[in-house]
Amino acid sequence: MGLRPNLLTRRTAGVASTTLALLLSTAAVGVVPAASAFSAAPSGSCAEPADSHSNARVAKGGHAKLDPNELTAKQVRDREADLAAALRERANFRAGAAATPLATVTIPVVVHVIQRDSTRAGGNIPDSMVTQQISVLNTAYSGGTGGAATAFSFQLTKVHHVTNAAWYPIVEGSSAERQMKSSLREGGKNTLNLYLGELSDDLLGWATFPQRKLNSMDGVVALSESLPGGTATNYNQGDTGTHEVGHWLNLYHTFQGGCSGSGDSVSDTPAEASPAFECPTGRDTCTATGKDPITNFMDYTYDSCMYQFTAGQASRMLTAWNAYRAA
Ligand SMILES: [Zn+2]
């Protein structure tokens, strides 16, 4: 997965996903390839700390090297230092204001459906898919699929259909992505802006980590056909959304850092040398205790295979919320 930050791509082995991948590749022809687009991003993006990079989800296939959501060790160190600094700031603020950290959080969600035209092939998914995606998030983050309950619930406040061929597909790291987000983003740091559409480079999605100062790039991008009932075979139960929102709430991949060091900065996710794809049995890539956390939402397995966050991840997300996104 190289040095790119957190991306999730689609596996291209299945017939249906191969078709989709081909469609994607065709759509991307004539558009700046993601790698070039990334390096050519406006200086504002490169001048900011690692958290300005987005976190993507990729499927197994030939495109993983373009995954934008994976972090280098230095980027992780910088982010952890920033989190500590943000927490110190908040603690000082709270000491004066006698405020208490939040224990439960309802996140307003603004959804932007990016379309080329009014057809389904042109990105016009039904609103029912969006409401089902919100249900998937609420079930996952409440522990309803078998993992730890987190503090978070999600409330859909708006579905905004936007027809603009210049933003379709959404090309990760491009000036068009920047323009799209600066035109459409709504709300404060606590508002989740979810952009749906066809994506560049067979990606399933990407997200930004929280930052102390709100940036118009803040938000989650997901393949519209990854929503429940979509056409992205093996990735159409809505867990791309679950995974990307995890990044938006400050989670790293379970395979961050491999077998050594602090890994994903969460103590109860066993270390994992590399991403797991599909749904492997008994995978154990590090000598440290515990098999690979292939059922964790922050790995790269099939939607049907991932169903949990850990208590440590829930705690990390809430800590980050109170540091970065709480009012
Ligand atoms: Zn990711």
**Secondary structure (H, E, C), the chain:** CCCCCCEEECCCCCHHHHHHHHHHHHHHCCCCCHHHHHHCCCHHHHHCCHHHCECEECCCCCCHHHCCCCCCHHHHHHHHHHHHHHHHHHHHHHHHHCCCCCCCEEEEEEEEEEECCCCCCCCCCCHHHHHHHHHHHHHHHCCCCCCCCCCEEEEEEEEEEEECHHHCCECCCCHHHHHHHHHHCCCCCCCEEEEEECEHHHEEEEEECCCCCCCCCCCEEEEHHHCCCCCCCCCCCCHHHHHHHHHHCCCCCCCCCCCCCCCCCCCCCCCCCCCCCCCCCCCCCCCCCCCCCCCECCCCCCCCCCCECCHHHHHHHHHHHHHHHCC
Task: Answer for the pair 69, 54: CB distance below 8 angstroms, yes or no.
Answer: yes
Domain assignment present for 256: no
pLDDT number for residue 169 = 97
pLDDT number for residue 98 = 45
pLDDT number for residue 26 = 30
Domain assignment present for 229: yes
299 C-alpha to ligand 1 centroid (Å): 7
Contacts for 111 with CB less than 8 Å, ≥ 6 apart: 130, 156, 158, 159, 160, 194, 196
Domain tally for the chain?
1
245 C-alpha to ligand 1 centroid (Å): 9
Domain that holds residue 140: 7-89+103-250+309-325
Give me the tens of pLDDT residue by residue for the chain, a chain 327 residues long: 333 445 555 543 333 333 222 223 333 322 223 333 333 333 222 222 223 344 567 766 534 434 567 899 999 999 999 999 998 888 776 655 545 667 899 999 999 999 999 999 999 999 999 999 999 999 999 999 999 999 999 999 999 999 999 999 999 999 999 999 999 999 999 999 999 999 998 999 999 999 999 999 999 999 999 999 999 999 999 999 999 999 999 999 999 999 989 999 999 999 999 999 999 999 999 999 999 999 999 999 999 999 999 999 999 999 999 999 997
90 C-alpha to ligand 1 centroid (Å): 27
Q: What is the CATH number of the domain that holds 48?
A: 3.40.390
Domain assignment present for 129: yes
Domain assignment present for 112: yes
Domain assignment present for 313: yes
201 C-alpha to ligand 1 centroid (Å): 15
pLDDT number for residue 168 = 97
297 C-alpha to ligand 1 centroid (Å): 9
Domain assignment present for 200: yes
95 C-alpha to ligand 1 centroid (Å): 35
Question: Within 10 Å of residue 66's Cβ, how many Cβ atoms?
Answer: 24
Domain assignment present for 237: yes
pLDDT number for residue 95 = 58
Residues near ion ligand 1 (CB < 5 Å) are 6, 8, 55, 57, 69
Domain assignment present for 293: no
96 C-alpha to ligand 1 centroid (Å): 37
Residues marked active site are found at 244
